[in-house]
Chains A and B, each alone.
Chain A
Amino acid sequence: MAHLPDPSNVKKQLIQKYPTKVARKRSQQIVINAVAEDKTVPEILANVRTTPGIITQRGCTYAGCKGVVLGPTRDIVNITHGPIGCGFYSWLTRRNQTRPEGPEDHNFMTYCFSTDMQDDQIIFGGEKKLRQAIQEAYDLFHPKAIAVFATCPVGLIGDDIHAVCREMKEKLGINVFGFSCEGYKGVSQSAGHHIANNQLFKHVIGRDDTVDPHPFKINMLGEYNIGGDAFVIEDILERCGIKLVATFSGNSTVGKFENAHTADLNCVMCHRSINYVADMIEKKYGVPWIKVNFIGAQSTAKSLRKIAVYFDNPELTARVEKVIEEETKAVEAVRKEVKSRCEGKLAMLFVGGSRAHHYQDLFREIGMKTIAAGYEFAHRDDYEGRRVLPTIQVDADSRNIEELTVEPDPEKYRPRRTPEQLKALNEKGLEVKGYEGMMPQMDNQTLVIDDISQYETEKLLEIYKPAIFCAGIKEKFGVQKFGIPCLQLHSYDYGGPFAGFKGAINFYKTVDRMINTQLWSYIKAPWQVNGKPLLEAELVNS
């Protein structure tokens, strides 16, 4: 780690090949981190359009809505209204594990439902076919709820999916709702998360007012159960004596969403994909929220303690401390051993809208430094912290995404904590409704890059030769052709879970295996390393 290149030179190299306009824009999205004493950081350009022709990591709004947020919910029949592709590609490709309680319980996650639009529906409209598809889905499966997702051509031809949903809801007597999540909306998946969450808020959350008498009820927001992460978190919470009402949306059911507003606290994991739901639930029902992070052993412990502080109950605190103590022993043994082999090595993370932040904690725990990181679809507040929220300018692309106006519910609003209590919590160090963002937690002189391109990825790998690069499946094999291991952090291939204490152990071992294997040293054949002609080298000398 001794001789790291000057980041401003690196930045120059990343953009020098770009046409002027592209270079100008990218230079605002590539920032050299500098954290001031008050934790303020330089401004980064984020949540803006990807320049056409640039090879980006990003997907689309439909992917964020159907693939990310609604995908992990097992008992909703999710019908993609559009040509076959969108439904096909979002079919079981996110490793959202789920665990129905019994063999009779609904689980539609293994199914892909599509209206498979053909050209005559593009010409004459697809509402009739959609109506019929909803009817057929109902007749075959009798689900509790049916959701409809609009793809690009649906928005263009003007099918009113919401009208069809209303009509079918009336006719079938089950909850039917739609998402206008056409791929061209917004600039990334982020728009899709927002559309998904808004509709869940409007059509699902708050329909079941049954209150569980348990004293410590929370929701986990922004956890999608990739590779079983949510299972690990569920297990920890249960052992601590904390009741999980709903996870949005890992291992979830529509019933749990309907009941979510009865919780006492919302815990936000992925700030990007769901912070507004936490805000809306607070406004409408009076449930405060805190930012948590269950990625990393220390972060998990810290998050559990935050929850304990919020509930302020000695018994709960004792149980939390006991679980932390029990788990930490096993974690520490592995951590120390792995650290001895990983200390000082460099990591880079370019993934998602929170993972590039959270996973840095895991690397830090084994002595590795994150030299460059960035998000695929974050906004400025995810980098710089919520303090910049008032200064974020809303551009045309964001304006297309509906903002809900939320008022306290006349009957169901029940503030869980008084303003005085919240203030007291803040004074105790529990920042309610706060998130300081990724950059204040990164070292100075590291690179923060929003919406990194394939070209910049290659340059970074050439310049820094990091020990490990974390990205998605599209990037993975290109990175590995450089002889650098790439850990897939969207779906972990078949690896994981990486959340909680057990996940941390899993992660340490995974990283250790990846960067300390001898395999990479065999890439060159012996004759490529000692390439002397045979006669000259051996026979004559022997």
Chain B
Amino acid sequence: MLLRHTTSEIKERSALTINPAKTCQPIGAMYAALGIHRCLPHSHGSQGCCAYHRSTLTRHYKEPVMASTSSFTEGSAVFGGQSNLLQAIHNIFSIYEPDVIAIHTTCLSETIGDDIPQIIATARDKKYIPDGRYVIHANTPSYVGSHVTGFSNMVKGMVTYFAEPGTQTKTINIIPGWVEPSDMREIKRICYMMGIEIILFPDTSDVLDCPQTGRFEFYPKGGTTIEELKAAGRSRMTLALGRSASVAAARELDSKCKVACEVMELPIGLRATDQFVDTLRRVARVEVPTLLEDERGRLMDMMTDMHQYFAGRRVALWGDPDQLVSLTEFLVDLDMRPVYIVTGTPGKKFLSRIEKALRGKVPEAKVQEGPCSDMFLLHQWIKQEKVDLLIGNTYGKYISRDEDIPLLRYGFPILDRIGHSYFPSVGYVGAMRLLEKILGLLMDRQDRDAPEESFELVM
């Protein structure tokens, strides 16, 4: 037993988090910043943060993740990080020549209170920032929120620094939320099919899913360009996908550039995708193309054909709020029973969103967010009453093995499998992939456990 010390008896905890279902802000900011073309994320703190974030993103994407650090030592911790950051900006533009440096803070630089905008202004005065290049920032104290908060803060920073108001264009902004490069690519494909011109930011496709060409590109071809980020301020409207990760930037665009926004859940599963497509149709005043309707039809076909195999199955989920809400809705639509749901990302609104997704259909569901909402608690719930399926990140493999429950790897981070960054889980096609994976796991288990006489060939 790998988690041999986890017991079914639940003792109240107020201080000790065990096996967290979240991590810290800066890694989210780093991921978001990689979605800007020719941007070098910069971690303002000690080296370890940057190394840890790069390692985790690298393991998740199996791609190079470039980012620099202010390399704080004790001196900088005492006297402030201004001199380190100025040096860093100068060195980065000299050596790595990015178009943008996207600085995020760490708990160290936040606690000593470094004033990043002031340091950026000083760097500009000292001519450390070449003409036509930019330095942007987001405050991402690790002791507030989670990696999702950090992602949201950096995306908001993109608006704060770049979006410019002006004569309205017909473009629609889409803020995709914390999803995979494959998902960002899929969102672009759906819009392309519908003939809608969009600005997608951030966009990590072609940054964190790069082809092997035998040539290393320090700045891969993907990412939202600065021109696009500026133009986002003139778009007709913004669709913000995922309330936790995208609302802040959408609101900022509204107040700064008067771009109206509509907020919706991540387009994971049937109905969330329906809502996304329908909103696009409405705001862009276009027809939904037959090709897309056919995709929806194929998903519906799969759902109706296979209903008997997934209906009634109990599922435990953990991860990021936006993904959990849409996934829960999808599972409920399939007549599955998402009974245990945990996110470490704090936010009370999550509970009402999940409540809405559950629509009173799974009265036995246990949902928890915030302090001590962790995988240890989730595991204890499972020990009290078992589930048929786990959906969450790689760290769930220990529960999966100990309790002999199949695991669908979903969310962040996935360290021991590939596919998530290449195959989307958003849109109708993404929903089909999720369903295929869920069915595969459940039926492999059924086959494994079947007595020989019930080991069937056909269904």
Closest to A155 in B: B77
B281 interfacial by beta-carbon distance below 8 Å? no
One digit per residue, 1 when the CB lies within 8 angstroms of any chain A CB and 0 when it does not, for chain B 433-457 equals 0000000000000000000000000
B258 interfacial by beta-carbon distance below 8 Å? no
Query: Would you give the shortest CB distance from B147 to chain A, in whole angstroms?
Result: 8
CB–CB B47/A51 < 8 A: no
Complex interface: chain A residues within 8 A of B108 (CB): 152-153, 156, 183-184
Among B14, B24, B64, B90, the residue within 8 A (CB) of A83 is B24
Complex interface: chain A residues within 8 A of B210 (CB): 481
Q: Quick check: which of B3-11, B270-278, B348-356 contacts chain A, the rest being far away?
A: B3-11
CB–CB A85/B26 < 8 A: yes
Work out how many contacts link A and B, with CB atoms closer than 8 A: 271
CB–CB B46/A60 < 8 A: yes
Chain B positions 200-215 with a Cβ under 8 Å from a chain A Cβ: 210, 212-215
Query: Would you give the shortest CB distance from B306 to chain A, in whole angstroms?
Result: 33
Query: Would you give the shortest CB distance from B189 to chain A, in whole angstroms?
Result: 23
Measured between alpha carbons, how far is A52 from B371 in the docked complex, in Å? 35
Chain B positions 81-131 with a Cβ under 8 Å from a chain A Cβ: 84-85, 87-92, 94-96, 106-108, 111-112
Query: Would you give the shortest CB distance from B97 to chain A, in whole angstroms?
Result: 9
Measured between alpha carbons, how far is A474 from B70 in the docked complex, in Å? 17
Measured between alpha carbons, how far is A520 from B213 in the docked complex, in Å? 10
Chain B positions 46-61 with a Cβ under 8 Å from a chain A Cβ: 46-49, 51-56, 58-59
One digit per residue, 1 when the CB lies within 8 angstroms of any chain B CB and 0 when it does not, for chain A 144-160 equals 00000001110111000
Chain A positions 126-142 with a Cβ under 8 Å from a chain B Cβ: 129-130, 132-133, 135-137, 139-141
B238 interfacial by beta-carbon distance below 8 Å? no
CB–CB A119/B213 < 8 A: no
Among B27, B64, B371, the residue within 8 A (CB) of A477 is B64
Measured between alpha carbons, how far is A110 from B376 in the docked complex, in Å? 11
A415 interfacial by beta-carbon distance below 8 Å? no
**Given A19-B91, A84-B344, does the pair A60, B4 have CB atoms closer than 8 Å?**
no
Query: Would you give the shortest CB distance from B151 to chain A, in whole angstroms?
Result: 14
Complex interface: chain A residues within 8 A of B55 (CB): 89, 93, 472-474
Complex interface: chain B residues within 8 A of A130 (CB): 15
Complex interface: chain B residues within 8 A of A89 (CB): 23, 52-53, 55-56
B160 interfacial by beta-carbon distance below 8 Å? no
Query: Would you give the shortest CB distance from B141 to chain A, in whole angstroms?
Result: 7
CB–CB A51/B215 < 8 A: no
Complex interface: chain A residues within 8 A of B425 (CB): none
Among A106, A111, A186, A396, the residue within 8 A (CB) of B18 is A111
Most buried by A among B15, B64, B111: B15
CB–CB B74/A474 < 8 A: no
A532 interfacial by beta-carbon distance below 8 Å? no
A397 interfacial by beta-carbon distance below 8 Å? yes
Most buried by B among A55, A62, A188: A55
**Given A89-B56, A187-B73, does the pair A115, B66 have CB atoms closer than 8 Å?**
no
Chain B positions 1-55 with a Cβ under 8 Å from a chain A Cβ: 1-5, 7, 11, 13-20, 22-27, 42, 45-49, 51-55
Most buried by B among A130, A183, A482: A183
Count of interface residues, chain B, beta-carbon cutoff 8 Å: 87
CB–CB A53/B11 < 8 A: no
CB–CB B77/A55 < 8 A: no
CB–CB B67/A133 < 8 A: no
CB–CB A483/B69 < 8 A: no
Among A79, A84, A185, the residue within 8 A (CB) of B74 is A185
Measured between alpha carbons, how far is A286 from B296 in the docked complex, in Å? 76
CB–CB A136/B90 < 8 A: no
Among B49, B70, B94, the residue within 8 A (CB) of A60 is B49
CB–CB B215/A153 < 8 A: no
B76 interfacial by beta-carbon distance below 8 Å? yes
CB–CB B47/A152 < 8 A: no
A118 interfacial by beta-carbon distance below 8 Å? yes
Among B48, B56, B371, the residue within 8 A (CB) of A61 is B48
**Given A60-B51, A184-B77, A481-B216, does the pair A53, B90 have CB atoms closer than 8 Å?**
yes
Closest to A19 in B: B94
Query: Would you give the shortest CB distance from B50 to chain A, in whole angstroms?
Result: 8
A112 interfacial by beta-carbon distance below 8 Å? yes
Measured between alpha carbons, how far is A187 from B84 in the docked complex, in Å? 14
Complex interface: chain A residues within 8 A of B13 (CB): 136
Measured between alpha carbons, how far is A17 from B91 in the docked complex, in Å? 10
Complex interface: chain A residues within 8 A of B161 (CB): none
Most buried by B among A83, A397, A520: A83
A103 interfacial by beta-carbon distance below 8 Å? yes
CB–CB A85/B15 < 8 A: no
Complex interface: chain B residues within 8 A of A186 (CB): 73
One digit per residue, 1 when the CB lies within 8 angstroms of any chain B CB and 0 when it does not, for chain A 374-386 equals 0000000000000
Complex interface: chain A residues within 8 A of B192 (CB): none
CB–CB A122/B143 < 8 A: yes
B132 interfacial by beta-carbon distance below 8 Å? no
Closest to B394 in A: A92
A114 interfacial by beta-carbon distance below 8 Å? yes
CB–CB A114/B51 < 8 A: no
Chain A positions 441-496 with a Cβ under 8 Å from a chain B Cβ: 454-455, 458, 461, 472-474, 476-483
One digit per residue, 1 when the CB lies within 8 angstroms of any chain B CB and 0 when it does not, for chain A 495-528 equals 0000000000000000000000000100110000
CB–CB A17/B143 < 8 A: no
One digit per residue, 1 when the CB lies within 8 angstroms of any chain A CB and 0 when it does not, for chain B 232-266 equals 00000000000000000000000000000000000
Measured between alpha carbons, how far is A91 from B4 in the docked complex, in Å? 17
CB–CB A156/B112 < 8 A: yes
Chain B positions 302-345 with a Cβ under 8 Å from a chain A Cβ: 344
Complex interface: chain A residues within 8 A of B418 (CB): none
What are the 8 A-B residue pairs with the smallest beta carbon separation, nearest first?
A60-B48, A85-B24, A53-B88, A53-B91, A478-B64, A132-B15, A83-B142, A89-B52
Can you report 30 A-B residue pairs in the complex whose CB atoms are below 8 A from each other?
A: A19-B94, A19-B95, A52-B88, A55-B69, A56-B69, A59-B47, A59-B51, A62-B48, A82-B107, A83-B107, A84-B344, A85-B52, A86-B24, A88-B20, A88-B22, A89-B56, A93-B59, A116-B17, A117-B143, A119-B143, A122-B107, A184-B46, A184-B77, A185-B73, A396-B75, A455-B95, A473-B58, A478-B66, A481-B215, A523-B213
Besides A121-B143, A183-B46, 7 new A-B residue pairs in contact (Cβ under 8 A), listed by A number: A52-B84, A60-B46, A85-B107, A89-B53, A116-B372, A152-B106, A482-B216
